[in-house]
Amino acid sequence: MNYPLASTTWDEREYEALQRVIESGIFTMGKKVAEFEQEFARFVGSNHAVMVNSGSSANLLMVAALRYRSNAPILPGTEVIVPAVSWSTTYYPLYQYGLKLRFVDVDAETLNYDLEQLEGAITPATKVIMVVNLLGNPNDFAAINKIVEGRDILLLEDNCESLGALFDGKQAGTFGLMGSYSSFFSHHISTMEGGLITTDDEELYHILLCLRAHGWTRNLPKENHVAPMSDNPFEESFRFILPGYNVRPLEMSGAIGLEQLKKLPDMVLERRRNAEKFRDLMEKYPFLRIQREIGQSSWFGFAFTVKSDMGYDRRQIIAAMNKSGIEVRPIVAGNFTKNEAMTWFDYSIYGELKNANELDRHGFFIGNHHYPMNEELNLLELVLKKIDK
């Protein structure tokens, strides 16, 4: 591809980090994972971070932890509001824990919650709002906090696509009770596979540690909020207290994460510089609507919605881009409620999902990268000029 969706952010530092782990002979979760968790928590400004094997697993543990907390656990049948446009594993853990999903439309420009629709969708049964920061763009958390003010509603954040995004100077992923992140290849940092959950709540942190590895006590501190522990390591080695998983990360992933985190500020800065050039370019082509930034996006990619009323067709545009070597994808999963997987869900839909349907029919996105993209954006302009004859 002349203009790929994603590219490697590794150099010799990541490969040297891998080699040090190989030489140590310790490959499963160990000291480097713990060090990366500490540095990641410090970077985003949270008290705690727990690394897992993917962003999808991060969402799974985040939802599971609410089920097992001591005070007001989130039980099966509880209503959770979700945006109609997101990735599949935003929704699956909610279904898997028996929660009732209530789908709400997104804003046509920001691609995040339509705030008017969000406020209207809340019912007396609503106990959780899953906030998804889409394609690097943080939600308007000032407005969302006003909507939930005085209500018994928790905020969770799926921030898997938006590491490094800021709203009012605060890192996206840290506005809710917990936030999830992904360090898959195509995301802002890459640890091969990987994900994290952040929280300031110590009890939830201990629950996450337990759930990550089999539901056993072995990884808990002696003083914790989950279970009293003996001083006998033999007794504690195979003691299971929660129905957990094995979603531990590799030690290699933690070591790579430490190197990636050092680069992250500059990589996000370069993505923002590219976005400025992209926005300037797109002013010439009004038949495509682009994503409107909230706060400071970390610009995962560049999203478009084709204005079909102006006589343009998404299929023709995508074909022209593919022919020129520009890699194209749908805007996440489009309107997720169209999928056959919905037959398994307990759910309701608020309103008509007008904007989600429009994104599904007319939307697509292309990549952004951590390096200057003058050549790629010049190629994009050449394609758009041919289309806009």
**Most distant CA pair in the chain: distance in Å?**
76
Q: Which of 187, 188, 206, 369 is catalytic?
A: 187
**Residues in Cβ contact with 213 at an 8 Å cutoff, skipping those fewer than 6 apart:** 29, 219, 244, 246, 248
Torsion of CA 372, 378, 384, 386, to 10 degrees: -160
Q: What is the distance in angstroms between the CA of the first residue and the CA of the last residue of the chain?
A: 25
Neighbours of 26 (CB within 10 A): 13
Please report the DSSP string for 323-363 in residue order: HTTB--B-STTSBGGGSGGGGG--EEE-S--HHHHHHHHHE
Angle (deg, nearest 10), helices 12-24 and 251-282: 160
SS3 195: strand
**Residues in Cβ contact with 350 at an 8 Å cutoff, skipping those fewer than 6 apart:** 102, 103, 104, 105, 117, 120, 121
CA 136 to chain centre: 9
**Does 214 qualify as catalytic in the annotation?**
no
Tell me which amino acid residue 4 is. Answer: P
Q: Give the catalytic positions in this structure.
A: 187
